[in-house]
Chain A
């Protein structure tokens, strides 16, 4: 039987260009490489679309236009309203970065940087701090009314306000763990089912085709999940921004 590789080995971060400054390891890793690629793909896609902008868009122009319209309309207008257009560059960059990270990770032998909790948590805590600061800057002390639900009898508030505060403070955790767990579980499942193929084929050839079939179907599910999770990450950012701007 072939030696089984650990299904989590695909998430190991390997230094490509070792850099050590003052005992701190800031090596250029495969994770950083994929982030740079995602940034470059996004930049090239947007520049190619806007360099020779035509009234009737061609193939390379209509894709970024569709993405732009999707973020501007479905994410920002429908969830925040016209005031939200100030935050369009941030939401668009966030959405495209997560989307490209998820999709580039699905290429075999590449690396999914969104499958690391530190990456997603870094983004989520940034969103959390930014949303809180925007809320305080816009409303001052009235921002605290976010934690007081409307139309609730006074005695119940003793119970409800701590719950609201807790559910507000737990947002960066849920936002980051949702994306990280989806990517981790999906990619691990792909490798586990792929690991069944060779041991099974050494005994019976035909049943070994079933894990391959399952892997193909799982791959389509993963494509759906990659797009959906980027969408969910961006739409939840919009909902949090809406809370900070409109206070219910």
Chain B
């Protein structure tokens, strides 16, 4: 296998990390909606956005690696 196609496959594989970020973000906001539906007075929205940012960051590690593979090396 030549280097160029290996790079493409590697970048594609690195993007699998975004699956976890998608599941995590969906989980965070579904929990936020059910929490607010049960108790509309609950002050949980800041924590939900904190969770969103933390979950999104883990997926973006993979995306950043994919970009580095594609454009730097």
Contact = CB atoms under 8 A, between A and B. Distances in A.
Interface of A: 6-8, 74, 177-178, 180-182, 184-186, 188-189, 225, 228-229, 231-232, 235
B29 interface: no
Contacts, number: 45
Contacts of A235: 50
Contact of B53 (A185, A188, A231): A231
Contacts of B67: 7-8, 184-185, 188
A178 B71 contact: no
A235 B51 CA distance: 12
A218 B64 CA distance: 16
B57 A8 contact: no
Interface string B26-51: 00000000000000000000100110
A47 to B, nearest CB: 29
A6 B63 CA distance: 16
Given A6-B71, A7-B67, A188-B67, A182 B57 contact: yes
Contacts of B53: 225, 228-229, 231-232
A30 B61 CA distance: 25
B72 interface: yes
B57 A231 contact: no
A232 B47 CA distance: 10
Nearest to B71: A8
A6 B68 CA distance: 11
B30 to A, nearest CB: 19
A189 B49 CA distance: 22
Contacts of B57: 178, 181-182, 229, 232
Given A7-B71, A8-B72, A228 B52 contact: yes
B61 A231 contact: no
B16 interface: no
B60 A182 contact: yes
Contacts of A184: 64, 67
A184 B72 CA distance: 13
Nearest to A6: B71
A231 B50 contact: yes
Contacts of A74: 46
